[in-house]
Structure 1
Amino acid sequence: MNGADYVHGYSDREAERLSDQARTLTSLLHYDTRYPAGSRVLEAGCGTGAQTVILSKNSPGAEIISVDISPGSLRNAAARVRTEGITNVTFQAGDLFSLPFAPGSFDHIFVCFVLEHLANPEQALRGLRPLLKPGGTITVIEGDHGSAYFHPESAAADTAIRCLVDLQREAGGNALVGRELFPLLVQAGYAGVQVSPCVVYVDASLPALVEGFTRRTFTAMVEGVRNAVLERGMMTESEWEQGIADLHRTCEPDGVFCYTFFKATGTVLP
Structure 2
Amino acid sequence: MSTAEYVHGYSAAEARRLGDQADVLAELLHADTAYPPGSRVLEAGCGVGAQTVHLVANSPGAQVVAVDVSADSLARARSAAPGAEFHRADLHALPFPDGSFDHLFVCFVLEHLPDPRKALTALRRVLRPGGTITAVEGDHGSAFFHPDSEHARAAINCQVRLQAGNALIGRELQPLLADAGFTDVVVRPRTVYADRTRPELVRGFTRNTFIAMVEAVRDDALAAGLTTPDDWHRGIADLHRTAEEGTFVYTFFKGVAVNPGQGQFGKLVTEG
TM-score by length of 1: 0.95
Distance 1:4 1:179, change over 3 A: farther
Structure 2 residue aligned with 1:205: 197
SS in 2 for 1:50: coil
Structure 1: which 5+ runs fail to align? none
Give matches, 1:33-182, under 5 Å.
33-82=33-82, 87=83, 89-168=84-163, 171=164, 173-182=165-174
Q: Distance in 1 between matches of 2:178 and 2:228?
A: 42
> Is residue 2:253 matched to residue 1:262?
yes
CA distance in 1, matches of 2:114, 2:225: 25
Distance (whole Å) between structure 2 residues aligned to residue 69 and residue 2 of structure 1 = 7
Mapped to 1, the partners of 2:79 and 2:182 lie a distance apart of 34
Distance 1:129 1:46 in 2: 17
Relative to 1, partners in 2 of residues 1:2 and 1:120: Cα closer, same or farther, differing over 3 Å? farther
Post-superposition CA distance 1:185-229 (Å, at most 9, x none): 000000100001000011111010011000000000000000001
Whichever residue aligns with residue 251 of structure 2, its letter is T
The Cα shift of 1:139 comes to 0.2
Q: Where does structure 1 differ by over 6 angstroms across 4 or more consecutive aligned residues?
A: none
Distance 1:65 1:209 in 2: 30
Measure how far apart 1:133 and its partner are: 1.2
Contact 2:138 2:252 in 1 (8 A): yes
The aligned residue for residue 249 of structure 1 is 241
Distance 1:71 1:119 in 2: 21
Say which SS state the counterpart of residue 243 (structure 2) adopts.
Answer: coil
Task: Give, in whole Å, the separation in 1 of the partners of 2:167 and 2:224.
Answer: 19
| More divergent stretch after superposition (147-156 vs 244-253) | 244-253
Aligned to 2:228: 236
Contact residue 3 and residue 70 of structure 2 kept, 8 A: no
Separation (CA, whole Å) in 1 of partners of 2:4 and 2:40: 28
How many residues are treated as equivalent by the alignment? Answer: 261
Asked whether the equivalents of residues 40 and 64 of structure 2 are also in contact (C-alpha less than 8 Å), the reply is yes
Task: Give the SS at the match of 1:91.
Answer: strand
Same amino acid, percent of matched pairs? 59
Please provide the CA RMSD for this pair: 1.1
Could you tell me how far 1:130 is from its partner in structure 2?
1.9
Post-superposition shift, 1:134?
1.4
Q: SS state of the match for residue 250, structure 1?
A: helix
Tell me, what secondary structure is at the counterpart of 1:49? coil
Partners of 1:58 and 1:190 lie apart in 2 by 24
1:119–1:4 distance in 2 versus 1, CA, 3 Å: farther
Q: Which amino acid aligns with 1:164?
A: Q
Q: Distance between the aligned counterparts of 1:210 and 1:2, measured in 2?
A: 32
Aligned with 2:85: secondary structure? strand
Residues 164/208 of structure 1: CA separation in 2 closer, same or farther (3 Å cut): same
